[in-house]
Structure 1
Amino acid sequence: MTSINQGAAHGPHGFFSKEATVARPGFSRWMVPPAALAVHLCIGQAYAFSVFNAPLTKIVGITQSAPDDWSLTTLGWIFSLAIVFLGLSAAFAGKWLEKVGPRRTMFTAACCFGGGFLVSALGVYLHQIALLYLGYGVIGGIGLGLGYVSPVSTLIRWFPDRRGMATGMAIMGFGGGAMIAAPGSVALMNYFKSATSTGVAETFVVLGVVYFISMTIGALAIRIPPADWKPAGWTPPVTANRMITKNHVHIDQALKTPQFYLLWLVLFLNVTAGIGVLGQASVMIQESFKAQITAGAAAGFVGLLSLFNMGGRFVWASASDWIGRKNTYFVFFVLGAVLYYLVPQFARAGNVALFVAAYCLILSMYGGGFATIPAYLADMFGTAFVGGIHGRLLTAWAAAGIAGPVLVNYIRAYEVAQGVAKADAYTMTLHIMAVLLVIGFFCNLLVKRVNERHHMDTAAQTAS
């Protein structure tokens, strides 16, 4: 092992090669989740980008928007571009990730995400919106995608006994990153604010540098296990779950299986149901309980949902190690459909506690869906190409990011236009979400073990 590492370090690929990241004897696998978190806590900032929207509309006017300032609709494209390029980079860089390994991929993510902030800072300074689109939207979005998928396959290989828990730890970081970034960004903008600056450009520079350093530390700390490594004292169960394969499916072959498309729909339907209400949670609770809920209380409700979104990623993914991935999604779809059906009744009854509890549980399952899917993919397709396959499956997230809000916003607008009271305008939407989850239940039901004809041959599996 030592000779392999030494040879790789001095070889043509050097320090960032896949070979140079193979762990030496005695390396603790518990060093890997913190390395993954160092990346995911940074890129989770994407969920907090909205704190920059209002200050970015006052770059020229400083205290209020001037005629030459950007509008909110113009600025909205920055986040949309970032999510699109997250999906594209995750989908198309999968093969490259499996070839070059996690260290080079994570370092590339650090360069793109941190560099995207610096390009955006220049865009604010020069007042060129195209540079913000390029910086945070395109370059930063590529950093988001690469950073999101790069630690996943590594964690799964280090924790064959706890795949769900391992991926849940990292993806929990993505859910929690915004909780650090939002107040931190506001504090920085207040610190840099002056008579001639809103503080946004300076904040972008600081964030770009801090995120680059943190993500680079994660890239330097990451290690991959030697071939055929197993945790001490652990042996794969003899009576293994038939849904968990010991074989591997090539990334291109995975796209030829019905299982890939069924799992794509499973993720798409679960995320569509959650993401639509996530964006409207504050307005929804205020309109449902007009006399009881203030804007401040609604903001607290949104914060509580974020906590359950984050915690659900770890709790549900860990639970999936015990009850199985397929059963975990059955819980999501059955319980989710029932809750979506009941929420309008809780609102009509004026029961705030049940309304809040239902949404907290719904959002925990929304987060849990993200964290459980990588382990589900590893069970079905093996671990050799799981990072790349996961990247391609994340196109379901991008599609749901459009479908969910469109369903909620347009159906609500139609209902209000037809004379339906605002407090009741979400009933049809929530019932449609319940139907989507029922469809998801049947998609999950149809998931079976991958046919042996899709497995790689023994020699190829050994080489991987």
Structure 2
Amino acid sequence: MTTTDVPQVVSYREVTDKNGRVYRVGESDIDIMGRKRKWMVILPWVGMMGISSAEYAFASAEETIHQAHHWSENSIFWMLSVWVFFQAAVAFPAGRLRETGKLPARWAMMLGAVGTLMGYLSLAYAPHVILAFVGFGMFSGMGAGMVYATCVNMVGKWYPERKGGKTGFVNGGFAYGSVPFVFLFTTVMDLSNFKVILVTVGCFLALTVAVAGFFFQDPPKNWWPPHIDPLNPPDDPRARRSLEKNPPAVHQYSPSEAWKTGRVALMWFCLACTSGVNIFGIAFQVEIGEHAGFAAGIVATAMSLKAIVNGTGRGVIGWLSDLYGRKQCLLYVCVILGLAQFGIIWSAEIKNLPLFLFFSAVSGFGGGAIFPMFAAMTADYFGENNNATNYGMVYSSKLVSGLGSGMGAVVVTAWGLNGAFILAGSISFFAGFVALFLSPPGRPKNKRITPNPQPLGEETA
């Protein structure tokens, strides 16, 4: 005789804090999906690595693509801008579809895998540059945007009590996942084998995204880990410090409510500035290195170092933000990113290779660290339930910052590489100044809280 296990229905309860925010407690990660929630960090991390080379390794493949198809270099730089534009453009509508249940996480990842493959096929076989703009710029960009938004928001939902380090780790895959392909496109790919390499890489990365996404699953709305008391300071010192430095949102803000606070607009502007500087650096790091007389292999090393530090820096800054606060870390990142642009100019002018590698790494750190800061800060300010849509509004700033590649080419033509990098550094400093005005909505500022001159229990005359 055989027996059939009847699925056990796990009870849960909803508790409300003093601000009216609801927490769903009682269900563990294993109760919900049959495995520990760490898999919702590992799998999104793998998915992010699968889309990373389209942006970070693209500049390394630019010269071969230019020679193979005879497309102008400016057209190729604008192609990257179009890719970034559509990557950002899809974030808000995809987030809205995800939260209404019309686009499950698994299907968003599958669509992302298809877009990834179409992008590489277009770079290999497009008979005209317009088709490459459509295949790589539009379809690959939209696919990457779906994967990016799904992965980043997934980890924040499963780790609402200390999302900074986890979000940074997942976000880091978007950078250092491209490192093998930077070397492949720079040192191995040439006119005789570029089609085979591009198609092989496209198939491998599309399969990676699809397999990782197949196991995605969202937690229920308002879910909170059962071992963390949402109404009292937790026993876990890591969670306790993270919640003290980055308290959860006072309630779950809808997109319209989040926009009315004014914080979304400030985040949008800051991210537009800093990510534009990051994209400009990705596009022109190779060119300024070659202009300084460094060998192609050395420039590839600088790009790889930039990507590695860009990715690992996201995890590090996410962890630090759990300890010291998102806003404080964001301010430091803006300053570091700005200083790095001036360091790159200086090291290239004096042709000092160690300094060039150092400032490339610092620029990579600053350019990458901004993204997990805004991803985690959005959930901290507005809650997790609508985070895909709310972060989609913030992340849509890349619609503008994506011009960092195409407009960068225009600025370089007009002002030269030095002038363009000086402008980039100045923009980063200005973004840091604007970030000073960020604060969580619904919470009184410390300076507005005045002590009670007559505490309870003290007798008065």
AA aligned opposite 1:38? V
Kindly report which structure 2 residues correspond to 1:40-439, keeping only aligned pairs within 5 A, or say none.
40-47=48-55, 48-50=57-59, 52-56=61-65, 70-100=71-101, 101-118=104-121, 123-124=125-126, 127-183=127-183, 198-231=192-225, 233-236=227-230, 238=233, 240-241=244-245, 244-285=248-289, 287=291, 293-340=294-341, 353-403=354-404, 406=407, 409-415=409-415, 426=418, 428-439=419-430
1:29 maps to 2:29:
no
When structure 1 is superposed on structure 2, of 305-314 and 228-237 the one drifting more is 228-237
Cα RMSD of the aligned pairs, angstroms, is 3.5
Q: 1:241 to 1:295 in 2, by over 3 A?
A: closer
**2:99·2:388 contact (CA, 8 Å) conserved in 1?**
yes
Matches of 1:325 and 1:96, distance apart in 2? 28
In 2, the alpha carbon distance for the partners of 1:451 and 1:156 equals: 21
User: Percent identity at matched positions?
Assistant: 20
Change (3 A) 1:159 1:138: same
- What is the match of residue 441 of structure 1? 432
SS of 1:261's equivalent in the other structure is helix
How far apart are 1:52 and its partner, in Å? 4.8
CA deviations over 1:24-50 (Å, ceiling 9, x no partner): 365201111222123211111212234
**Structure 1 contact 308–361 (Cα < 8 Å) conserved:** yes
C-alpha spacing 1:323/1:29, structure 2 compared with 1 (3 Å): same
| Native 8 Å contact 1:83 1:398 kept in 2 | yes
The range that moved more, 80-89 or 255-264, is 80-89
Q: 1:294 to 1:162 in 2, by over 3 A?
A: same
Could you give the per-residue CA deviations for residues 69-119 of structure 1, whole angstroms, max 9, x where no partner exists? 544455555433322211211133221122233222222222332345456
Unaligned stretches of 5+ in structure 2?
1-5, 11-28, 234-242, 444-461
Letter matched to residue 31 of structure 1: W
Q: Secondary structure at the match of 2:251?
A: coil
Report the CA distance shift for 1:23/1:218 in structure 2 as closer, same or farther (over 3 A): farther
Q: Which residue of 1 aligns with 2:26?
A: none
Does the CA contact (< 8 Å) of 1:305 and 1:359 recur in 2? yes
How much does 1:295 deviate?
4.1
Q: TM-score, normalised by structure 1?
A: 0.75
Offset of residue 370 of structure 1: 1.4
Deviates more, 1:389-398 or 1:138-147: 389-398
| Count of matched residue pairs | 407
Query: How far off is 1:149 after superposition?
Result: 0.4
For residues 327 and 28 of structure 1, do their structure 2 counterparts lie closer, same or farther at Cα, with a shift above 3 Å needed?
same
Residues 136-163 of structure 1: CA deviation (Å, up to 9, x unaligned): 2222221111111012222101112321
CA distance in 1, matches of 2:284, 2:54: 17
TM-score, with length taken from structure 2: 0.76
Question: More displaced, 327-336 or 112-121?
Answer: 112-121
Partner SS for 1:38: helix
**Quick check: 2:85–2:402 contact (8 Å CA) kept in 1?**
no
Aligned partners of 2:246 and 2:178: how far apart in 1? 38
Corresponding position of 1:459: none
Amino acid at match of 1:251: P
Q: How far does residue 211 in structure 1 lie from its aligned partner after superposition?
A: 3.0
Q: What is the rounded CA distance, in whole Å, between the counterparts of 1:141 and 1:402 in structure 2? A: 14
- How many Å separate the matches in 2 of 1:343 and 1:108? 38
1:242 and 1:226 map into 2 onto residues whose CA distance is: 22
Q: Distance in 2 between matches of 1:23 and 1:301?
A: 46
Q: Is the 8 A contact 2:45 2:170 kept in 1?
A: yes
Q: Per-residue deviation at 1:267?
A: 1.2
Which protein has the bigger helix share?
1
